[in-house]
Structure 1
């Protein structure tokens, strides 16, 4: 005997669907971007000495500006990062806003002063991201940097590594920290047409042959050109797509789609970790990829996962 959907059943189902959609949108817009903050720990078995433990906290894609990234939120991230007591802290670019709707702008010097509260024995080091270049009309018109955020960070005591390698020491053991210039620095005519200021060969030429090295590169796409001379590449930029369902992101700002969208990538024995970032780009929403502090433990046992 056929069963017919009653008007009451149809109405109840519609209300349920609408309520579920509204709850999901509310979570994606207000809860996950602004209220959640996770620590994701990685222990990559990279080409790194087993007897040389090193912990790195990586912070990416602040995109300062309310409603998502006000000063109080930056200060919360700084406090949580310091509590992890890493040996080294790295900032992976995109400090300037990129959302279409900013309810209150946070001046970059104020944001930099808050970031200056980060503390680690081996220092706090940074690179720039594409939005740090894109957000300055003069830089784009003249095709010449550095953008203002470079000067602001260094004035706050945070060195910017642009195509530059820095030799660091822990317990008498040396390693290299290399920072790459941004690969999407200048917007050119055409669809997704960019010119970078990155110089991978020149940066690698600063390294000696035997000391282990870590590379900071805002966009992960450069990983296809990174040699196995580099023990680990750390990147941001993608935000994990900002929407990530069952390990898949519908939209990823990368030529390689989901290949480098998020997390720990191992290819041909080379290791890349892509942070899900902290702020938002485009729209102030996240779902399935909460803002995160990445903690990398080198010279440690294998394993990955949220902490």
Structure 2
């Protein structure tokens, strides 16, 4: 039988846990940083095309959670990983109210300009990079003020664009979509629903040969429309759920038994129409980065901020992954 003293000790530990978890989620985990690694050879990617890609997703730059000194540290740690290419997956700005005065976009864009890789740094925009720009919301056109800051910093911005690159004489295509929920519903702007500025078909139409394709798309839900011609889709947006309670992601519940919140996902189902007709589709591979910052609230629990390293090819025997915290 448990003693009274042992029982009171247990109650005290439980109470301490209840009180300390929020403090950890606000004051400790958002400031951590890990390197998350994946190794895979997805379909249509040659095993002898060895490519190391570093993913920078969702920094949501603001003081005190993601100040300029921390951005410099992330840039230095990314460079130290010696990637072949660096891909920035959007949501550079923080729109939540839990911050000091906003940081000018050119200040952080110029720091990201110090990212270094033989095949360069390439960027797309996220939903917050559209939502936080009133002029872009009025005109419905980009690039937004945050996109222009990246361009001025010398970082190529992909808005429904595909570019052919080479590594050691082997070609591949890098494609990037504009955001899928860029424009918010607004009576003022005469929009009744969310509108995207992405053009998947138009982007892939720019691919002119059979070299493999990497696709940057901020929101991972696009995977349901991505054709098997694309070797790998790379996304952010979800922050890995931002709160993970022993596998339960309250912000990203599963839809129809599927979740695109985090990690290496192999999608085997096609569009709603294809599922209705019971038409088979080839597996499509998606990696969703856990990202770096916070959205809505400056809280992370069970999903530390990360730089995501994706190692493709390299004579790997088949498809697989090796995530490392």
* Equivalent residue number for residue 299 of structure 2: 285
Q: Map 1:21-170; keep pairs closer than 5 Å.
A: 21-34=18-31, 36-47=32-43, 48-170=45-167
Change beyond 3 A, Cα 1:98–1:151: same
Structure 1 stretches of at least 4 aligned residues deviating more than 4 Å after TM superposition? 3-6, 8-14, 253-258
Root mean square deviation, CA, Å: 2.3
Alpha carbons 1:221, 1:256 under 8 Å: kept: no
Structure 1 counterpart SS, 2:259: helix
Structure 2 counterpart SS, 1:24: helix
1: distance between equivalents of 2:257 and 2:130? 23
1: distance between equivalents of 2:266 and 2:40? 9
TM-score where L is the length of structure 2? 0.87
Structure 1 counterpart SS, 2:59: coil
TM-score where L is the length of structure 1? 0.92
Alpha carbons 2:252, 2:259 under 8 Å: kept: no
Q: Aligned match of 2:178 in 176, 181, 185?
A: 181
Report deviation, 1:246: 3.0
* Equivalent residue number for residue 240 of structure 1: 240
Structure 2 counterpart SS, 1:28: helix
Alpha carbons 1:215, 1:230 under 8 Å: kept: yes
* Equivalent residue number for residue 276 of structure 2: none
Report deviation, 1:105: 2.4
2: distance between equivalents of 1:85 and 1:62? 20
Alpha carbons 1:238, 1:254 under 8 Å: kept: no
2: distance between equivalents of 1:155 and 1:257? 43
Change beyond 3 A, Cα 1:245–1:206: same
Structure 2 counterpart SS, 1:259: coil
Q: Does 1:252 align with 2:252?
A: yes
Structure 1 counterpart SS, 2:233: strand
Q: Does 1:275 align with 2:289?
A: yes
Any gaps of 5 or more consecutive residues in structure 2? 269-282
Alpha carbons 1:32, 1:290 under 8 Å: kept: yes
* Equivalent residue number for residue 275 of structure 2: none
2: distance between equivalents of 1:185 and 1:98? 14
2: distance between equivalents of 1:144 and 1:162? 11
2: distance between equivalents of 1:111 and 1:174? 31
Structure 1 counterpart SS, 2:151: helix
Alpha carbons 2:137, 2:184 under 8 Å: kept: yes
Change beyond 3 A, Cα 1:55–1:154: same
1: distance between equivalents of 2:62 and 2:122? 22
Structure 2 counterpart SS, 1:183: coil
Alpha carbons 1:44, 1:271 under 8 Å: kept: no
2: distance between equivalents of 1:60 and 1:137? 23
Alpha carbons 1:236, 1:274 under 8 Å: kept: yes
Alpha carbons 1:45, 1:298 under 8 Å: kept: yes
CA deviations 1:42-75 (Å, max 9, x no partner) are 1123021011100000010010001210011101
Structure 1 counterpart SS, 2:69: helix
2: distance between equivalents of 1:217 and 1:88? 16
2: distance between equivalents of 1:254 and 1:245? 14
Report deviation, 1:146: 2.2
> Which stretch of the first structure deviates more once superposed, 46-55 or 139-148?
139-148
2: distance between equivalents of 1:78 and 1:241? 24
Q: Map 1:204-223; keep pairs closer than 5 Å.
A: 204-223=204-223
Alpha carbons 1:98, 1:280 under 8 Å: kept: no
